[in-house]
């Protein structure tokens, strides 16, 4: 069980490290994709999001791989995954209605770092990442960790 949790931590860390780097190395492309969502009108805010989100993912990926602040990092990933999954879903609905095609036939680059993908596959991936993040919250997978708890756990 703990071995599975360690593997889950490494897998989640590697995925976020890869996705973060693929965006951080092409920040303009990510900025353009982020603009598709019309999240905010201010260029300062959009630029800040495009400039920092990929590196934040890299940071979280590294923390998980090294085993530092694992539960706090898993929670941070959940807070990132949840709103972006909603945004991706919403954009897919817009595309579906504009193109008049079945939902699962909608294919676009959501700016997630994995390129152009079918929406159903993307949602499934996000669901798996979500599940892996939740699995780390109870505190499993502490083997091979540098500092699993950054804040001292409560004495039982």
Partner 1 sequence: MKDNPTPSGVPDRLLAVRQIFGEFALVAVLGAAFAFAANQISPLGLALTRNYFPTGTSPSVRLSAGDTNSGPVSPTQFLARQMQEKGLQLLDDNQTARLFRDPRFKQDIIIFVDARDEDRYQRGHIPGAYEFDPYHPEKYFDTVLPLCQKAEQIVVYCNGGDCDDSESAALLLRDVGISNQKLFVFGGGITEWMTNNLPVETGARNSGNLRKPNP
Binding site for partner 1 (CB under 8 A): 24-28, 31, 35-38, 43-44, 47-48, 50-56, 58-60, 63, 69, 71-73, 75-76, 79, 91, 94-95, 98, 137-139, 149-156
Of 99 and 124, the one with the shorter C-beta distance to partner 1 is: 99
Owner of token pair 């708890």: 149
Of 51 and 124, the one with the shorter C-beta distance to partner 1 is: 51
Of 32 and 124, the one with the shorter C-beta distance to partner 1 is: 32
Encoded tokens for 48: 């800040």
Tell me the C-alpha distance between 6 and 139, whole Å. Answer: 11
- Closest approach, Cβ 13 to partner 1, in A, equals 13
Tell me the C-alpha distance between 67 and 140, whole Å. Answer: 11
- Closest approach, Cβ 121 to partner 1, in A, equals 21
Whether residue 147 contacts residue 68, with contact meaning beta carbons closer than 8 Å, is answered with: yes
- Closest approach, Cβ 54 to partner 1, in A, equals 8
Distances (CA, A) of 96 to 30, 91, 145: 22, 9, 44
Tally of CB atoms within 10 A around 88 = 20
Of 124 and 153, the one with the shorter C-beta distance to partner 1 is: 153
- Closest approach, Cβ 5 to partner 1, in A, equals 15
């Amino acid at each position: 069980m703990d071995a599975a949790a360690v593997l889950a931590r490494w897998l989640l860390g590697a995925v976020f490290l890869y996705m973060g780097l693929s965006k951080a190395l092409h920040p303009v492309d990510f900025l353009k994709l982020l603009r598709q969502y019309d999240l905010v009108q201010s260029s300062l805010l959009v630029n800040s999001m495009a400039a920092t989100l990929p590196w934040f993912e890299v940071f979280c990926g590294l923390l998980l791989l090294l085993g530092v602040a694992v539960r706090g990092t898993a929670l941070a990933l959940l807070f990132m995954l949840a709103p972006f999954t909603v945004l991706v879903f919403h954009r897919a609905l817009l595309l579906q209605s504009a193109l008049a095609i079945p939902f699962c036939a909608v294919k676009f680059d959501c700016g997630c770092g994995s390129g152009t993908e079918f929406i159903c596959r993307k949602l499934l991936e996000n669901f798996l990442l979500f599940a892996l993040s939740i699995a780390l919250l109870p505190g499993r997978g502490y083997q091979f960790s540098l500092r699993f708890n950054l804040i001292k756990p409560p004495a039982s």
